[in-house]
Amino acid sequence: MHSDDKTLRERIFHAVLYEACAMALLVPLGSWLAGADMGHIGVLGLMMSTIAMLWNMLFNALFERLERRCGWRRTPAVRSLHAIGFEGGMLLLTIPVVAWWLDCSLWQALVLDIGVLLFFLPYTYVFNWSYDHARGRLQARRALGQQG
């Protein structure tokens, strides 16, 4: 089964697992770094996660429409434009929320958001590599079970 063969149920599972694992790592770290209560940081994490998922759906729909209209192919340059656009939009959407929730300046919120972005770059790579590896092993095990 190729990664494009994921069911909607598996895609939802993947997205929820991705966010839950990120929260399990970021909430204690954010609480420690910000000197704030874990519950307070946890609610901020949920707000940011919700913004990220909604922005992801909206941004991808708009970007794909732009791709079709301009006749773009998914070259490294187009993928880079996509990533920069997505992350730039995330910063614009979340900085005011972080500043409000943590009662800090927009500059402090920007620095915190950049830290979150720097966390997500390696996290996304490691999470998806681990998920794909575990998924492949599970599928191989299931295939063996069906043969025997």
Integer Cα distance of 92 and 70 in angstroms: 25
Whole domain around residue 46: which residue ranges? 7-143
- Residues 6 or more apart whose Cβ sits within 8 Å of residue 53: 15, 19
Task: Note the pLDDT tens digit of each residue in 13-44.
Answer: 888 898 899 999 999 998 898 888 999 999 99
Residue 116, Cβ neighbours under 10 Å: how many?
A: 20
The answer to pTM > 0.85 is no
* Exposed/middle/buried for residue 76 (C-beta within 10 Å: 0-12, 13-18, 19+): exposed
Tell me if 73 is assigned to some domain: yes
Q: What is the domain count for the chain?
A: 1
Tell me if 81 is assigned to some domain: yes
Task: Note the pLDDT tens digit of each residue in 107-145.
Answer: 999 999 998 888 888 898 888 889 889 998 998 998 888
Tell me if 112 is assigned to some domain: yes
For 7, the 3-state DSSP assignment is coil
Task: Note the pLDDT tens digit of each residue in 43-86.
Answer: 999 999 999 888 988 988 898 899 899 999 888 888 888 888 98
Tell me if 117 is assigned to some domain: yes
